[in-house]
Amino acid sequence: MPIDATLPYDPANIFARLLRGEIPSTRVHEDEWAVAFHDIAPVAPTHVLVIPRGPYVSWDDFSDHGSDAEIVGFVRAVGTVARTLGLVEPGYRLLANTGPHGGQEVPHLHVHLFGGTPLGLMLAR
C-alpha cells in the first residue's frame, strides 16, 4: 500500500528496524552514511536498495532536510555500490519511489538500484 510521504518519520518502519539490526538483511555495503542490501523481492538480476542512516521518509524529505554531508555521503554510497557490483560498464538504473503516485511503500528513503540485464523501457506505455 503506497504511503503518504508527507507524514512524520516512523521509527518503527521496516527499514529503520533493519538499520538497527532488528530484522535480517543481506548487506552489500555499509558506511557512515548509508546501508545497501538486496531487495527481498528482486525484479532484476541485481536489485539492491540503498538507504541513508538518517531518519528521512522520502527523497523529498531528504533533499529538503538532509545535511550537505548526509546528501554527499549518500550519493557517493549509491555510486560506490554500483561500482562495487560491477554495474557501471553494462549500465544500471536508479529509482526512488516517492509518495502515493510514486508507489512508495516503505516510509524510509530508499533508492532502488537495478542491473544485470537490459532493463527496457523506463515505464510501460
**Interacting residues with ligand AMP (CB under 6 A):** 14, 18, 23, 25, 37, 39-41, 49, 97, 103-106
Nearer to ligand AMP, 101 or 125 (CB): 101
Question: Is 110 one of the catalytic residues?
Answer: yes
H/E stretch holding 78 reads: helix 68-84
SS3 content of the chain, % helix, strand, coil (to 5): 25, 20, 55
Q: Taking the complex as a whole, how short is the minimal distance between the CB of residue 6 and ligand AMP, in angstroms?
A: 15
Nearer to ligand AMP, 23 or 69 (CB): 23
CA–CA separation, 125 and 121 (whole Å): 8
CA nearest to 123, candidates 99, 105, 101: 101
Q: Taking the complex as a whole, how short is the minimal distance between the CB of residue 106 and ligand AMP, in angstroms?
A: 4
Cα angle for residues 11, 21, 106 (degrees, 5° grid): 45
Q: Taking the complex as a whole, how short is the minimal distance between the CB of residue 71 and ligand AMP, in angstroms?
A: 19
CA–CA separation, 38 and 50 (whole Å): 9
Catalytic residue among 65, 101, 110, 112: 110
Nearer to ligand AMP, 8 or 67 (CB): 8
Indicate which residues carry an active-site annotation. 110
